[in-house]
Amino acid sequence: MSTLMTEPAAGRFGDFGGRFVPESLVPACDALAAAFREAWADPAFRAELDELLVVYAGRPTPLTPARNLSADLGIELLLKREDLAHTGSHKINNVLGQALLARRMGKGRLIAETGAGQHGVATATAAALLGLEATVYMGERDIERQQLNVLRMTTLGAEVVPVGSGSRTLKDATNEAMRAWVSDVDRAHFLLGSVGGPHPYPWMVRELQRVIGVEARRQSRTVPDVVVACVGGGSNSAGTFAGFADTSARLVGVEAAGGAAMTNGSPGVVHGARSMVLQDADGQVAEAESVAAGLDYPGIGPEHAHLGAIGRAEYHTVKDDEVVEAVRRLARSEGIICALESAHAVAWVLRAAGTPELPTGSRVVLTLSGRGDKDMATLLGGAS
Amino acid sequence: MTALVPYVTGGISADWTDYLLAYQEAGATAIEIGLPFSDPMLDGVTIQQASDRALSRGATVVSILQDLDRVRGRLRVPLIVMTYANLVFHRTPEGFCRELADAGISGLIVPDLPVDEAKPVARAAAEAGIDLIPLVAPVTPDDRLEQIAALGSGYIYAVSVMGTTGERATLGSSAAGLAARVKAVTDRPVLIGFGVSSPEQAAEAGRAGDGVVVASALMRRVLDGATPAEIRETVAGFAAALEVSADYAYAEVSGDRR
Ligand SMILES: Cc1ncc(COP(=O)(O)O)c(C=O)c1O
């Protein structure tokens, strides 16, 4: 089974993926694919990345038994603690890999899109560490609701460019980042934050996030019944799933009800790949609507579309109010304040535990993709 | 003699088809009609705003193609549609190309459809009898230019700058070099577009290629409220710089099969 394991030929995952970009970007995508293939096979590159993941990012992150919730719910719940990674989310895994690759390719500048700001913060962090410039595109609406991360990015020396077009969220920030890349393709690396976009991004980002799943598999010792993670573009889930692809574990992705490309979308071509997309009858991309800026996105990475199509992974949705409640419940029962994005996975477990969807006694590995500091203002302001 | 291909975003106003007539009167050789897409990755702010305005007026592929009925019989110049891949695949390449052909469209430009992904669309376009006009960029290597020149039919569209659509103070320095590289591998005529903002720049581009696309410079004026009569003068300025005459036919340069 090659899904979640190998480089996809021509960037295709079954009917999905590919490279739908302007001709101006094709040579850059080709060069990036070749550079990543070579670097990934180079023990020196791997050693440098692994070392950074340990001494800088704080890996491995623990697998924490959620003792109180487990007792309450009648399951065994294990939390993969990406919230404890440097910068506060899994995004650092991908960013350190791509930033090292950018430097290896001789690029002096990183361009990134961000929704919740976690990917932007990680990019600004890696740029500071490696002496690169960083420009981060962020929707105006996300700038308002993720102020803390905007301040972190500027403190780290990155330029944050507000995007006022369309829904003023992640979708539009991604458009603008791609436009910026076309205009500076020689000097800049487009540091995409999830498993979407044109080949090689879905493959490269999944490989760079694989560390989550590999560690969790080792730490959980026996194979769990269910592996669950939240899904925006799908990188923390893809990285988690990759560690369990060849096991019998059920793979569960949890989408925001208002941004559920797998559940409510149809095949389409957006941001460089064919995947599942929320769109209207004419093929115009719909605006997503979620309390979690990082999941407020109408698309999903193409490998997820394929995993769903072949039935290897299942995708569920949870609503904003369940998510806000899940943040509180996890905080009060385990002393862990997780990100609104990560709380989608928690909310599904809270709802499903003890039902046929997640029977009593199940052993569950849940990736807690990030910490919730950035969301305090949102939680205080209205969602109570 | 060089072809002048002005652009309009379909559905941008209730009377948008009057721009087609105005362009024709001003000496357009062919006209490019943009079918607006929600996420125009290769467009600068002017075409983005034009697309948003058309979409917020409720413009759809069907409504824009239907609007063309209003000028049928009066419009003699060929029409080329420019739109993004999702609108093509959403209706299936076969269905989309047939709809275009039924509406009297002669050509199709899809900026996010590189040659590697274009086969199903090229096949559907050929079957429907419309030209799939492929794009080349300053960074396209020569061996890839040959591959692209074998795709579709009619013009080759040379993107003159590394960047999005939008007005620029000077014509991209790579325009002439790119056109020459295309001409070295194919007899197909070369359209030059992206950032052609003034009649002087159009004349310069016209010396390098066989045709010039003018988009943002016109759409900014349309967004600012220019009427079809006012835009006619603007387009006439480009036509004069290119020395096109009003009866110059697309078929002469494109090898159009109709
Ligand atoms: C904490 C956190 N989790 C999850 C996501 C969603 O991204 P992905 O699905 O790629 O993991 C984000 C994105 O901003 C995030 O910040």
For every residue of A265-333, DSSP letters joined together read -EEEEETTEEEEE-B-TTSPBPPP--SSGGG--SB--HHHHHHHHTTSEEEEEE-HHHHHHHHHHHHHH
CA distance, residue A17 to nearest chain B CA (Å) = 11
Binned at pLDDT 50, 70 and 90, residue B245 comes out as low
Question: Tokens at residue B139, please?
Answer: 């960074």
Question: Tokens at residue B155, please?
Answer: 């013009």
In order of their start, the domains of chain A are 12-52+90-190 (3.40.50.1100), 59-89+210-380 (3.40.50.1100)
In total, chain B counts a number of residues equal to 258
Are A3 and A310 in contact, with CB atoms under 8 Å apart? yes
Per-residue pLDDT for A266 more than 50?
yes
| Fold category of B3-254 in CATH | TIM Barrel (3.20.20)
A247's CB contacts (< 8 A; 6+ apart) are: A217, A223
- Report CB contact under 8 Å: B90, A268: yes
Per-residue pLDDT for B209 more than 90?
yes
pLDDT, tens digit, 9 for 90 and up, residues B106-118? 999 999 999 999 9
Residue bearing the bigger pLDDT, A292 or B245: A292
Residue A192 CB less than 6 A away from ligand 1: no
> Which residue in A has a C-alpha nearest to residue B164's C-alpha?
A179
Per-residue pLDDT for A227 more than 70?
yes
Mean pLDDT on B125-135: 98
Say how many C-beta atoms besides its own lie within 10 A of residue A15's C-beta.
13
Catalytic-labelled residue, pool A76, A82, A113, A303: A113
A178: which chain B residues are within 8 Å (Cβ-Cβ)? 41
φ, ψ dihedrals at B172, nearest 5°: -55, 135
Whole-structure pTM value: 0.96
- Cα torsion B114, B116, B121, B124: sign: positive
Binned at pLDDT 50, 70 and 90, residue B167 comes out as confident
Question: Tokens at residue A323, please?
Answer: 């998510």
Sheet containing strand A266-270, strands side by side: A12-13, A16-17, A273-277, A266-270
Sheet containing strand A363-368, strands side by side: A63-65, A76-81, A363-368, A226-230, A250-256, A313-318
pLDDT, tens digit, 9 for 90 and up, residues A62-93? 999 999 999 999 999 999 999 999 999 999 99
Residue A230 CB less than 6 A away from ligand 1: yes
Binned at pLDDT 50, 70 and 90, residue A381 comes out as confident
Mean pLDDT on A18-25: 97
Mean pLDDT on B50-55: 97
A349's CB contacts (< 8 A; 6+ apart) are: A73, A75, A77, A228, A358, A364, A366
A65 pairs with which residues across the strands? A78
Average pLDDT, chain B: 93
Are A227 and A241 in contact, with CB atoms under 8 Å apart? yes
Q: What is the share, in percent, of chain B residues with pLDDT greater than 90?
A: 87
Say how many C-beta atoms besides its own lie within 10 A of residue B58's C-beta.
8
Q: Is residue A8 reached through a cis peptide bond, with omega within 30 degrees of 0 on the bond before it? A: no
pLDDT at B249: 46
CA distance, residue B62 to nearest chain A CA (Å) = 9
Question: Tokens at residue B166, please?
Answer: 């939008």
pLDDT, tens digit, 9 for 90 and up, residues B210-221? 999 999 999 999
Mean pLDDT on A94-116: 97
pLDDT at A382: 58
Give the A:B interface size as CB pairs under 8 Å. Answer: 110
- Report CB contact under 8 Å: A284, B138: no
Q: What is the share, in percent, of chain B residues with pLDDT greater than 70?
A: 95
Q: How far is the CA of B218 from the centre of ligand 1 (A)?
A: 41
Q: How far is the CA of A350 from the centre of ligand 1 (A)?
A: 20
- HSE of A161, CA atoms in CB hemisphere, 13 A: 17
In total, chain A counts a number of residues equal to 384
* Burial degree of B12 (CB within 10 A; 0-12, 13-18, 19+): buried
> Which residue in A has a C-alpha nearest to residue B46's C-alpha?
A165
